[in-house]
Structure 1
Amino acid sequence: MQTSLAWTALLMGLAGGPHCAAMCGAACAGVVRVAGAPRGMLQLQAGRLLGYTLAGALAAAAVQNLAWLAEQSAVLRPVWTLFHVAVLVWGGVLLVLARQPLWVDGAGRQIWARVRSRVAGRRWVLVAGAAWALMPCGLLYSALLVASLSGGPLDGALSMALFALGSSITLVAGPWLWLRLQAWRSPQRKDWGMRMAGAALAGVAVWALLHDMDPRVLEWCRSLW
């Protein structure tokens, strides 16, 4: 399953390309313009890779600890189940609405505004790229949720590294596309990646719920099928 989740994260990054170009193309162009291309782009993408990898490792470690606590204490097992239900709901929101919950968007924008003001400038491009992991983006948060379910810090780091690499393909071309191909900014293209990410996330959550389900309940469900 860990390998499947890593590939899922990569596909989310690739499929979310139009969304990334629409949401972050202008920001990438601004950062690269300050630092100068191509050096600025290389620093920005290296920072993104570092930030996403660390975020994936932390998310996976946190969820791994929660899983361990749930295994050790029957009281915490419902919390583990509710976490997967929350992931399923998140995926459903992205699939149906093609956007993240508004309260998450607001909180993410506040954090990003504070971080961005502190990493502006030519010398801080690498740090700005790492801080991209705090960008208020439903696609990014969904990839982090996938990474958190991957099994451990190394698996989570790998998942987010692949997501960063997949999405960087479009972001590297983003500044150029932003100026020349306005079709990439269309809402329809931008929504594709979000909906696909929601479907992938919901599928991962359903698998996790079935995997953790009591064998007797699972057998009863199978009997109904």
Structure 2
Amino acid sequence: MIRCLVVDDEPLALHILEDYISKIPFLQLVKATTNPIEALSLVQNGEADLVFLDVQMPELTGIQFLKIANGKVKVILTTAYSQYALEGYELDVVDYLLKPIAFDRFYKAAQKAQSVLAPANASASLPAVKEAPQKNLQNDFIFVKTEYKIQKVYLHDILFIEGLKDYISIYTPTERIITLQIMKKMEEALPEQHFVRVHKSYIVALNKIDSIERSRICIADKIIPVGDTYRDQFFKIIDAKNI
């Protein structure tokens, strides 16, 4: 069980996250408060494992909270402002949720926290995933850090992702986006019902596959190999969609 705090200066935001937490079996609400000082005291006393933390608050900002907590608790930032994403990830936040927060996106963030906090028990509540609605790719997106900016990438635009040593390339129909990231972290950020790892260097969008010939996938005139390690799982997914 993951003990949670919710910290936000907006009572409505507190109510929404309280409701979301109540629906997830492996989360336990310790406190929902508009007072970040109170929450910080609970963290320093070891009474919470995870904090859902707003960024812009009058007494103490979420970024200041993170710096004072100094790694004593895992944090998921919840905010209406995307400009804090880079600083949040540099401070090792588990996830970054943009308001308004949909339940399926909240659930995915909670699962990510579960895998970080209790890897051995991460599979214990997997059946509950069935209760989470399917992700709507049309409106969902991720933020990635490029050389000069943080760029929004809509999931429905992604054709495939290629890993190249210390960075990855995200291919869309109109551009190639290069970001300093590792494949494992990118794989965890994508909804598994729509994206699949097919090679140590490739993740593909299932709905963008044009054809498959033996162990080669064709997407937008690009040939992508299916690695031996990933072949069985990939073709199980494909077979499930055969008619």
- TM normalised by structure 1 equals 0.22
Q: Which has the higher contact order (CA 8 A, sep 6+)?
A: 1
Bigger share in helix: 1
TM-score, scaled relative to structure 2: 0.21
Task: Give the number of the structure whose alpha-carbon radius of gyration is greater.
Answer: 2
